[in-house]
Amino acid sequence: MSTPTRYSGLFPVAPTAFHADGSLDLEGQRRVLDCMIDQGVDGICILANYSEQFLVSDEERAVLTRLCLEHVAGRIPIIVTCSHFSTEIAALRGAEAAKLGASLLMITPPYHGMNTQLVKIGDQQIYEHFAAVADAARIPIMIQDAPLSGVNLSVDLLVRIAREIPLVSYFKIEIPGTAAKLRQLIEKGGDAIVGPFDGEEAITLMADLDAGATGCMTSAMAPDLIAPILRDYWVGDRAGAMLGYQNVLSLINFENRQCGLRAAKTVMVEGGVIASDHVRHPLEQIHPATKAELLELARQVNPIALYWGR
């Protein structure tokens, strides 16, 4: 029996490319994926929040899933985000992604504004949600633990899920106090926690690595500048990792606090990767002043996306 692959390292989120009129730019999407592979990433996550997953139709989602998996064609692993409030729909999405060649799935607990006093989703329903997706897809699953959901995923619940549903063994933690939760999760879960990841643009990367993170999910803006930090850290050169982190921190802080998902698109337009940095309504387009400051910071560190297509 073969040993299952353990996924670790840098798995950035691919932005969804749109034309200026808001329609899908499929050739641009292919260029995004090629650029990210040239950035030296270990894998790519598609259809996540930073991919504007809630702003694409079901039909567009199907097109993007197939396009991304077929275009990457096994060059690196692909995580497909399959989040949905409906357990049935999340399971169907997961099964389809697995059939098309996804390496992993990423899903949030069910929420979409429903985790209120009127409709409260309890731990058992959350457990059953992940179990159903795992049963349908039969590939590894990463739980996304993010403030966006408004769902409290306790360490005890995550450990129970990891121990009782072995396919659900990857965890992307991006909450206030991520390092503390990662540390507790690893201490309590032991070998059941196969992939403890951080996220949120790597804004707390060094603390999260110190807590035991084995992977990181950033945007596609500058993963080539994050990758050396991980390599240095994991060979024991913490000082070198810290220098690399300090070098890129101003840029990722600006991304995190001022731009959000717009940052990667803006840099990719400047670098000729895609033709438009359009984001779909009700999101606002990036303000010209914000764009100018973002590009000023990017030019100081010169990520691959800033010149890839020029």
Annotated active-site residue 120? The verdict is no
For the cut 60, the answer to whether the pLDDT of residue 111 exceeds it is: yes
- Token pair for 281: 């309504």
Phi-psi region of 69 (alpha: psi -120 to 50; beta: other; left: phi over 0): alpha
For the cut 60, the answer to whether the pLDDT of residue 236 exceeds it is: yes
Report pLDDT for 1: 44
For the cut 90, the answer to whether the pLDDT of residue 148 exceeds it is: no
Return the percentage of the chain with pLDDT > 90, whole number. 92
Give tens-digit pLDDT for 58-97: 999 999 999 999 999 999 999 999 999 999 999 999 999 9
Give tens-digit pLDDT for 238-271: 999 999 999 999 999 999 999 999 999 999 999 9
User: For residues 27 and 17, what is the distance between their CA atoms, to the nearest angstrom?
Assistant: 9
DSSP 4-54: PPPP-EE-PBPPPPB-TTSSB-HHHHHHHHHHHHHTT-S-EEESSGGGTGG
Cβ-based burial of 62 (10 A; exposed 0-12, middle 13-18, buried ≥19): middle
- Give the range among 123-137, 149-163, 216-230, 285-299 with minimum mean pLDDT: 149-163
Report pLDDT for 147: 77
Cβ-based burial of 60 (10 A; exposed 0-12, middle 13-18, buried ≥19): middle
Report pLDDT for 119: 65
Contacts of residue 70, Cβ cutoff 8 Å, sequence gap at least 6:
100
Catalytic: which of 172, 181, 265, 291? 172
Q: How confident is the model at residue 44 (pLDDT cuts 50, 70, 90)?
A: very high
Report pLDDT for 152: 87
Q: Give the chain's end-to-end CA distance (angstroms, integer).
A: 47
Report pLDDT for 4: 78
Q: Once rounded to an integer, what is the mean pLDDT over residues 8-31? A: 98
User: For residues 175 and 153, what is the distance between their CA atoms, to the nearest angstrom?
Assistant: 11
Give tens-digit pLDDT for 158-210: 999 999 999 999 999 999 999 999 999 999 999 999 999 999 999 999 999 99
Return mean pLDDT, the chain: 95
Residue with tokens 């990210």: 36
- Give the range among 38-52, 101-115, 146-160, 204-218 with minimum mean pLDDT: 101-115
Q: Could you say which DSSP state residue 78 is in?
A: E
Peptide bond into 147 cis (omega under 30): no
Report pLDDT for 116: 53
For the chain, which residues make up each domain, given as ranges? 9-230
**Could you give the C-alpha distances from 88 to 52, 82, 132, 242, in angstroms and in order?**
22, 11, 8, 44
Higher pLDDT, 289 or 114: 289
The superfamily (CATH) of domain 9-230 is Aldolase class I (3.20.20.70)
- Report CA 234 to chain centroid distance, whole Å: 21
- H runs (alpha helix) in the chain: 26-38, 58-72, 87-100, 123-137, 155-164, 178-189, 205-211, 223-234, 238-254, 262-270, 288-301
For the cut 70, the answer to whether the pLDDT of residue 3 exceeds it is: no
Q: How confident is the model at residue 41 (pLDDT cuts 50, 70, 90)?
A: very high
